[in-house]
Amino acid sequence: MKIDLHCHSTCSDGTYAPAEVVQRAHNAGINVLALTDHDTLMGIDEARVAAEACDIQLINGVEISCEHTLSGGYGKNKSTNKIIHVLGLDFTDFEKMHATLQQLQDSRATRGQRITEKLSELLTIDYDELWQAVLDKAGGNPQAVGRAHIGQVLFERGEVKTVQKAFDKYLADNKPAYVAIEALTMQHGIELIHACGGKAVLAHPTRYQLSATRVRKLIEEFAQLGGDACELPANSEPVSTRRMVDRSIAEHQLAASIGSDFHGSNMPWRRLGDVPNLNPEQQGIWQSFAILA
């Protein structure tokens, strides 16, 4: 069974419509897929119709932006506030999930505009022109605007040499055009997912610009707050990173999750189905999904 429990469509910051993502997953030989757009369930119905047509088991999914303060460390690094992404998988209460996420979507629209305002000043570009280009990239939906859309626009305009450079120079946490997103606390995010009947998964724990010590601390605190599983690092990450995450998963008795974090043509290095393998002793979170029982 080939599984991918983390991917995005045009309903957030991916470049393919939900049905197209499912079709591409089918072409990649995937049997079980979760569409996990940022803070929205908007693409799931379309994805489900496509999944039924090509015999893929679609898992209800979402990627929730959560605030979390990591303590520990020394001196000025004693604590740090981070936006941590938590995947909600296999939940059943759509209404409750949607109502809470709607507030986050509204904040996403204004955040995109505020980032664009900052960039228009930094780069001396007309705001209306830049915002229209970003909106076009997000399919005309301001609530779908993510930093990946903005980075793509900067790259296409020749303001940066790559999309990654847009993040490194302007868009990443604490860079000149960064704007924090309104978010649930990580504890609230986990509680929401559980209240909706789902499983809470810590997404890509090694991608938050944290030291190894803090990555381990994040996994520990996620487990203490009742999280169910931790996503394994991508195959492209060092073996030492994977071993560190494996040890933390075992220590805190978490299940493991796997996902490509596919976004489409704006991040072509992430391919559907390109996911790490579990170690023999690891439990896959999908083994607890009601829908696969």
- Listed in sequence order, the residues at least 6 apart from 74 whose beta carbon sits closer than 8 Å to its beta carbon are none
Residue 55 dihedral angles phi and psi, to the nearest 5°:
60, 45
As a whole number, mean pLDDT of residues 194-208 equals 97
CATH 3.20.20.140 applies to domain 3-65+82-92+186-292: yes
Determine how many CB atoms are found less than 10 A away from the CB of residue 156: 12
Average pLDDT estimate for 142-166: 92
Q: Residue 76 has what pLDDT? A: 57
Contact assessment for residue 80 and residue 96, using Cβ atoms and an 8 Å cutoff: no
Which DSSP letter does residue 48 get?
Answer: H
Q: What is residue 14's predicted lDDT score, i.e. its pLDDT? A: 92
| Per-residue model confidence as pLDDT tens digits over 31-57 | 999 999 999 999 999 999 999 999 999
Mean pLDDT within 47-75: 90
- Say how far apart CA 4 and CA 59 lie, in whole Å: 10
Q: 123 or 180, which is more confident?
A: 123
pLDDT at residue 269 tops 90 = no
The per-residue pLDDT for 293 is 67
More confident residue, 110 or 29: 29
Mean pLDDT of 216-234: 97
- Asked if residue 182 has pLDDT above 80, the reply is no
State residue 139's pLDDT score.
86
**Backbone CA torsion sign across 22, 26, 27, 31:** positive
Q: What is the mean pLDDT of the chain?
A: 93
- Within the chain, residue ranges assigned H as helices are 18-27, 44-53, 94-122, 127-137, 147-156, 163-166, 186-195, 212-224, 239-251
**Domain spans of the chain, in order of start:** 3-65+82-92+186-292
Mean pLDDT of 108-125: 92
For residues 250-273, give the mean pLDDT: 92
With cut-offs at 50, 70 and 90, classify the pLDDT of residue 120: very high
Of the listed ranges 101-110, 135-144, 193-202, 248-257, the least confidently predicted one is 101-110
Cβ proximity of 203 and 234 under 8 Å: no
Q: State mean pLDDT over 69-74.
A: 71
The radius of gyration computed from the CA coordinates of the chain, to the nearest angstrom, equals: 18
Asked if pLDDT for residue 27 goes beyond 70, the answer is yes
DSSP-assigned states of every residue in 114-141: HHHHHHHHHTT--HHHHHHHHHHHTTT-
